[in-house]
A and B are shown apart, each in its own frame.
Chain A
Amino acid sequence: MQRLGDFRLPPFFNYPPYFTLQPVRETREKQVQLWKDLILDYCRSQKIHTISLEEDFPLFSNPKTERSLSHEAKEVFLAALVSEGRAEWMDKGHKKCLVLWLRIQDWANFLINFVKDNGLEVMTIEEIRSGTDTRGTELEGIDRGVLMRALRQLEQKGKAAIFKGTSADDEGVKFSV
């Protein structure tokens, strides 16, 4: 089985047409579906939150079959994720894409379950992103913007309260479980 780092690639990764944007509508729909799922799975497993279309992205080329996605194809597949709320363009030029392998809502639920399970009540933002408690979980390295949106959603529901510390880096959150 072919791997990309520790990510297990599906067999069709070696199917050359998988890397050519298919012009026929039905075929393309299926192709886009397969790419969307694979991008999300890969990003989740590798804890990747942003994809830059300008830079090499390991998933977008297959050295074994010597195939890689065209810029247009990358944009089509990511745009399909964007339209489903599973990704967001980070700039108008569609050069960088924020991948939400969990939706904001899901991140919020994930967080609340996490603190509940670990008996945590107060954490700083930086602790969540790179602290010892979250190491090895999906929260490790979470995009700051995504985290803040998830926290604000919790705040609206009265499940968390964001407070400011002495500096901008020093924001914290108090969960009310």
Chain B
Amino acid sequence: MSAAAADWLPSASVTASGRPVLSAGEVERNLLPLVDLVPEENPRLAPLRGCLLALTSHRLIFLHEASRSARGLPLATVVHAYPPHRRHSHNPLRSIFSSSSSSSQHHRIRLQISRPPAGSEVVAIVVTCKADVDVFFGRLLEAIRARAWETTPAAAPASGAPVAEGAALAEDVAIRMPVVGVSGILRMEQESWESAGQNLQDAFQDLNALMSKAKEMMQLAEKMRLKLLTNASTEPNSNDEDMGSKQDMQDLLLSVGIVSPVTKETAGALYHQQLSLQLADFVRIPLEKAGGMMALVDVYCLFNRARGTELISPEDLLQACSLWEKVDVPVMLRKFDSGVKVIQTKTHSDEEVFARISSLAQKPDALQKGISPSDAAFTLGIAPALAKEHLLNAENKGLLCRDVSPDGFRFFINLFNEIDAQNIYTQKPHGLYHAWISVAMASQ
């Protein structure tokens, strides 16, 4: 079922790789995988199921990943948000961690939303996975209080827009002034400069939320683990019931993946997936400029430079790239026989590169002296390491052949197939071999 069904919500646009497109000044705050949106009172409104919920400063975006469609619920329409609850909860410990198949066991965050002109509706966000709903709810409240949507549109807000205490977010402090005089022009300049910077930042900010979530999860897990450890050491003779509940606790911790490497186990899964999609969106433009292929090392540098301070590790990058196999994105990771890894667009054609290399190798100078990887790098406008891979690939195809000498490693256009083994002294008065002989003779 795609998100199109829920046409009572405004649709939200999605990037090529299936990430929500954020408007200017909109910042991703948190993510929840596997969320349903269920209208509780009005049966005529279609529910949304199995969505990735992205909380931004402006909207709740329900992203249906399979169909790459999304619906956005503006936070401006949220009249009231009720804290997460379950319909049945007996064992408080179990209720935190276990997740049974029954939907009544799932966390629900009920929202009262205004729907002019009809009035209001109550909808429930049903969290069907193991996730820290409280953190999400905290951020939801923060975002609703911050009212970021009131400050970012071009129109100046009415004086005295309510700004919640303690929620001094960056977008809240922007003070609007009429565009008048020199100061107005200066401000316009400043704004366009900022928005350019913002565009660059937008793509990367949203992972901050995830990262900080991971940190909280880590702290929680550590706290619990410590508690378990101290209990075990201080009360070695505790009774069976205690032991049982501890065992229970351990199991629960393990089942939700909250052991020490929490970032890898829980948030990690979502983190790499989202990073993967974001990377796919990011590399598209640099890839186009680089002719469809870039060394992984170069992408790593570019991506991290764009991220500013929120650096990722090479391992993260590799993981993100390897996740592309599972989703439909226009880029792919490719490993050359030599072990060099590159990112290329799926439409990238080796034939095109071969054609360019072939014509390069047939220039008079190259016929005589061959081409080196750096020659090819210069002509193709790519890194020498990558150029060498292309040359080796072309050699593999029988287009080139190698010349290893004290002068170095060079490639020549492959003449072996042009030479008539039966008649080695005569040549056709045309063709590659003839062209090569003319050049070779001329140089004597």
Partner-B contacts on A (CB < 8 A): 8, 10-12, 14-17, 19-20, 22-24, 26-27, 30-31, 33-34, 37-38, 66-67
The answer to whether B424 touches A20 (Cβ under 8 A) is no
Q: Are A12 and B401 in contact (CB under 8 A)?
A: no
Give the distance to chain A from B93, nearest Cβ to Cβ, in Å. 65
What is the interface of chain B mostly: helix, strand, loop, or mixed? mixed
Q: Are B424 and A34 in contact (CB under 8 A)?
A: yes
Contacts A33-B421, A34-B424; A20 near B437 (Cβ below 8 A) = no
Q: Which of A8, A11, A20, A27 contacts B414 (CB 8 A)?
A: A27
Nearest CB of B to A74, in Å: 15
Assess whether B405 is in contact with A66, with CB atoms less than 8 Å apart: yes
Asked if B416 contacts A31 (CB within 8 A), the reply is yes
Inter-chain CA distance A37–B420, complex, in Å, is 11
Query: In the complex, which residues of chain A have a beta carbon less than 8 angstroms from the beta carbon of B396?
Result: 24
Q: Which residue of A lies closest to B434 (CB)?
A: A11
Contact across chains for B404 and A20 when beta carbons are under 8 A apart:
yes
* Cα of A34 to Cα of B404 in the assembled complex, Å: 19
Shortest B393–chain A CB gap in Å is 11
Q: In this assembly, does B284 line the interface, its C-beta being within 8 Å of a C-beta of chain A?
A: no
Chain B contacts of A15 at CB under 8 A? 412, 415, 436, 440
Shortest Cβ gap from B394 to chain A (Å): 10
Q: CA A101 – CA B404 in complex, angstroms?
A: 30
Known: A10-B424, A30-B416. A17 touches B401 (CB 8 A): yes
Give the residues in chain A near B436, CB-CB below 8 Å: 15
How many angstroms between the C-alpha atoms of A33 and B423 in the bound complex? 12
Alpha-carbon distance between A36 and B395 when the two chains are bound, in angstroms: 23
Nearest-CB residue, chain B, relative to A38: B424
Q: Does B19 contact A (CB under 8 A)?
A: no
A20 and B421 contacting across the interface, CB-CB below 8 Å: no
Q: Is the CB of A27 within 8 A of B405?
A: no
- Whole-angstrom distance between the Cβ of A161 and the nearest chain B Cβ: 40
Chain A's closest residue to B402 (CB) is A20
Contact between chains at B425 and A22 (CB < 8 Å): no
Within B388-444, which residues are at the interface with A (CB < 8 Å)?
Answer: 395-396, 398, 401-406, 410, 412, 414-417, 419, 421, 424-425, 427, 433, 436-437, 440
Determine whether the beta carbon of B416 is less than 8 Å from that of A16.
Answer: no
| Minimum CB–CB distance for B419 against chain A, Å | 6
Q: How far is the CA of A33 from the CA of B417 in the complex (A)?
A: 11
Residues in B lying within 8 Å of A, measured CB to CB:
370, 395-396, 398, 401-406, 410, 412, 414-417, 419, 421, 424-425, 427, 433, 436-437, 440
> Mostly helix, strand, loop or mixed at chain A's interface?
helix
Q: Which residues of A contact B415 (CB under 8 A)?
A: 12, 15, 17
| Residue among A11, A37, A67 with the highest chain B CB neighbour number at 10 A | A11
Given contacts A11-B437, A12-B419, whether A23 and B424 have CB atoms under 8 Å apart is no
A26–B398 contact, CB under 8 A?
yes
Chain B contacts for A30, CB-based, 8 A: 416-417, 419, 421
Residues of A within 8 A of B406 (CB): 66
Report how far A12 CA is from B412 CA in the complex, Å.
13
Cβ of B403 and Cβ of A12 under 8 Å apart?
no
Q: Are A20 and B416 in contact (CB under 8 A)?
A: no
Q: Is the CB of B401 within 8 A of A24?
A: yes
Q: Which residue of B lies closest to A15 (CB)?
A: B415
Residues of A contacting B410 in the complex (Cβ-Cβ under 8 angstroms): 16
* Contact (Cβ within 8 A) A24 B425: no
Q: Out of A11, A23, A27, A67, which one reaches B416, CB within 8 Å?
A: A27
In the bound complex, CA of A79 to CA of B424 (Å): 22
Known: A11-B433, A23-B402, A26-B398. 15 other contacts (CB 8 A): A12-B415, A14-B440, A16-B403, A17-B412, A17-B414, A17-B416, A20-B404, A26-B417, A27-B414, A27-B416, A27-B417, A30-B416, A30-B419, A38-B424, A66-B405
State A65–B158 Cα separation when bound (angstroms): 83
> Closest CB-CB distance, A136 to chain B, in whole Å?
24
CA separation between A34 and B436, bound complex, in Å? 17
- Complex interface: chain B residues within 8 A of A22 (CB): 401-402, 416
A154 shortest CB reach to chain B, Å: 31
User: Are B421 and A11 closer than 8 Å at their CB atoms?
Assistant: no
Give Cα A11 to B440, complex, Å: 9
B421 touching A17, Cβ below 8 Å = no
B401 — which chain A residues lie within 8 A by C-beta? Answer: 17, 20, 22, 24, 27, 31
With A11-B437, A14-B440, A27-B416 known as contacts, the answer to whether A20 contacts B425 (CB < 8 A) is no
Q: In the bound complex, how far is the Cα of B395 from the Cα of A67, in angstroms?
A: 20
- Residue contacts A-B, CB under 8 angstroms, 6 given: A8-B425, A15-B436, A20-B404, A24-B398, A24-B401, A27-B395
